[in-house]
Amino acid sequence: MSGLTLISIAVTVLLAVLFAKPAGLYLAAALDDRSQRLNRFYGPLEKVLFRLGGVQQQAQSWQKYACSMVLVNAVMLLLVYLVFRFQGVLPLNPAGIPSMEPTLAMHTAISFMTNTNLQHYSGETGLSAFSQLIGITFLMFTAPATALAAAFAFIRGLSGRPFGNFYVDLVRSITRVLLPLSLAAALLFVASGVPQMLEASVAAKTLEGAGQTLAVGPVGSFVAIKELGNNGGGYFGVNSAHPFENPNGFTNFLQMLLMLLLPTALPFAYGQMVGNRKQGRVLFVSMLMMFVLLLGVALTSEAAGNPALSALGIDQSHGSMEGKEVRFGTGLSALYAVVTTASETGAVNTMHDTLTPGGGMSALLNMLFNTVFGGVGAGFMNVLLYAMIAVFLSGLMVGRTPEFLGKKLEGKEMKLIAITLLIQPFLILAPTALALATSLGTDAISQPGYHGLTQVLYEYTSSAANNGSGYEGLGDATVFWNLSTGIVMYLGRYVSCIALLAVAASLAAKRTVPETGGTFRTDNMLFAGVWLGTILIVGALTYLPALVLGPIAESLTL
């Protein structure tokens, strides 16, 4: 790996770290009624939108907030499903792309509504321009806005404040965060060579003089919200490996920076809103340590190449280049794979199915833990879930009732936390076992053996964690995979969000306990160590057998 590549990787991570705090403070202000400056700037537009939507801006209980979130998302999901089902007769379809098959339309609508963007179709041949604009891009704004709204309602509840109003939070997440930032990013992408046009295709000539038709469209604006909102779906089938989506080193760098911008900002926004900035910094540093560790594993593994090929005398001096874009090489491809899974985005600039076992396991662990920055909103709720578990375990060890943000964690809260903690392993491991036990699942595996198990495990992990990347050697465009992953994506998104809102409501109803000398502090490096240990212990106990049968066994047999 060249020195220039290492410098590029270091600069990308460093800039993400530097942008995290100011972005977090802006996020806290954007979704806080007490920010008079932002209210004056965005207020007039938002008042019009609230009036048109009939939105009453009164605070909601956690039950009404959760119901509003689920019902609004369900209506959006249904509308976009109908767009996919009837795209064959809708406008902006010059190529005559047929309507989607019912289970694929259902899967795609759920995928983008849950911020997953797992694609069982190829963008340029599976969707019309109308579906891309009205269906996909619409959900790319509303899905991350929903996640941000839920995360900030959860944070408000933990801090003892009213939960807020879902409709207000949804609108503000779009008008104050996603729309202005994606507009600025889109201009940078277009200036860097990403196409932005309403034509579905253009005619071109090859170097030999033959005619060629190239798929194009409003790609620049699509890529901007795809990365900023941690969506990850590709306008083209090969996603950010396509030169129209990701033409050069600058666009590759900008995409990674956008993926990390909101996830790295959320710990600082949390610290600002709960009145304990130091706790936010501690969580950020803890997540950064995990990120750097997994990045190191991926870089080392990809740079070492494939031992089986080296044994055959094949040059591996540039690392494992199988499935990599030569424009980016092994280093920037491995960085992109770790960034996209750490931020729960799912965009890819390399074929993840061709990652070495170590590189693939790093991407898998990011999603299995779902705490390495954790995505645009819902993932950060998972970060705080592990923080509460860490506090609870510490309390058991010293014989003291655990407290989090001055509120006692008792039986009711821990039962809800246990449900939330168990739902993701169940949604990953149970469907994986089912798929491997039936020909409906095993027929899709392209490489039997350890790698085939990893293909299936990765697909369900990506679905449950709402990531959306995949081992594309898996033949997943079938009714079985559409239905099974669709159910996993939907439950993985909403069950945990609703349960954690209930936890916040339970804590909000309690009186604050005065801090004493025996209180376990959550804003120092001791807590960071306990938090990291909790994640590693829980993750190892839950997922180690599956990892041993998949990527670890594959690595040992190369």
Q: Are 266 and 381 in contact, with CB atoms under 8 Å apart?
A: no
Q: What is the pLDDT of residue 208?
A: 83
**Most confidently predicted of 367-376, 430-439, 517-526:** 430-439
The pLDDT assigned to 121 comes to 93
Q: What per-residue confidence (pLDDT) applies to 396?
A: 82
249 within some domain = no
Angle at 466 between CA 455 and CA 469, to 5 degrees: 40
Token pair belonging to 188: 């940078």
Specify the amino acid at residue 94: P
The per-residue pLDDT for 124 is 85
Residue with tokens 């609230």: 50
pLDDT value, residue 103? 97
**SS3 of 404, please?**
strand
| Number of domains present in the structure of the chain | 1
**Residues 56-113 pLDDT 10s:** 889 999 999 999 999 999 999 999 999 999 999 998 888 889 999 999 999 999 999 9
Q: Is 90 exceeded by the pLDDT of residue 215?
A: no
Q: What is the pLDDT of residue 214?
A: 85
Is 260 part of a structural domain of the chain? no
Q: Which range, of 107-116, 202-211, 410-419, averages the lowest pLDDT?
A: 202-211
Distance CA 357, CA 298 (A): 9
d(CA 250, CA 243): 12
pTM score, whole prediction: 0.95
User: What are the Cα distances from residue 547, in Å, to 304, 355, 437?
Assistant: 21, 15, 18
Helix or strand (DSSP H, E) at 214:
strand 211-215
Cross-strand partners of 212: 204
3-state SS assignment for residue 119 = coil
Is residue 20 in a domain?
no
Per the document, the length of the chain is: 558
Structure tokens, 463:
């679905």
What letters, b where the CB count within 10 A reaches 16 and e where it falls short, cover 224-249? Answer: bbbbbbbbbbbbbbbbbbbebbbbee
* Cβ pair 217, 132 in contact under 8 A: yes
Distances (CA, A) of 269 to 40, 49, 289, 377: 21, 25, 19, 11
What is the SS3 assignment for 292-334? HHHHHHHHHHHHHCCHHHHHCCCCCCCCCCCCECCCCHHHHHH
In a domain, 404, yes or no: yes
Residue written as tokens 């693939």?
360
DSSP secondary structure code for residue 2 in this structure: -
**pLDDT tens digit sequence for 11-30:** 999 999 999 999 999 999 99
What does the pLDDT average to over 425-451? 94
Dist. CA 378–CA 382, nearest whole Å: 7
Using DSSP's 3-state secondary structure scheme, residue 270 falls into helix
231 found inside a domain: no
Q: What is the pLDDT of residue 399?
A: 74
Tokens of 176: 């104050």
What pLDDT, on a 0 to 100 scale, did the predictor assign at position 377?
84
Closest by Cα among 288, 291, 133 to 225:
133
- Report if residue 522 sits inside a domain: yes
Among 88, 117, 114, 113, which residue's Cα sits nearest to residue 100? 88
Alpha carbons within 13 A on the beta-carbon side of 107? 22
Tell me the DSSP string of 70-104. Answer: HHHHHHHHHHHHHHHHTGGGSSS-TT-PPPPPHHH
| Confidence category of residue 197, pLDDT binned at 50, 70, 90 | confident
Q: Tell me how far apart the alpha carbons of residues 242 and 546 are, in angstroms, rounded to a whole number.
A: 32
Q: With 80 as the cut, is the pLDDT of residue 401 above it?
A: no
Q: Is the residue at 385 inside a domain?
A: yes
Is residue 14, in this structure, part of any structural domain at all? Answer: no
Structural domain of 450: 376-557
By CB atoms closer than 10 A (0-12, 13-18, 19+), residue 52 is exposed
294-334 tens-digit pLDDT: 999 999 999 998 887 777 788 788 889 988 999 999 999 99
Radius of gyration of the chain (CA): 23
**Listed residue (230, 238, 239) closest to 258, CA to CA:** 230
Amino acid in the structure at residue 547: L
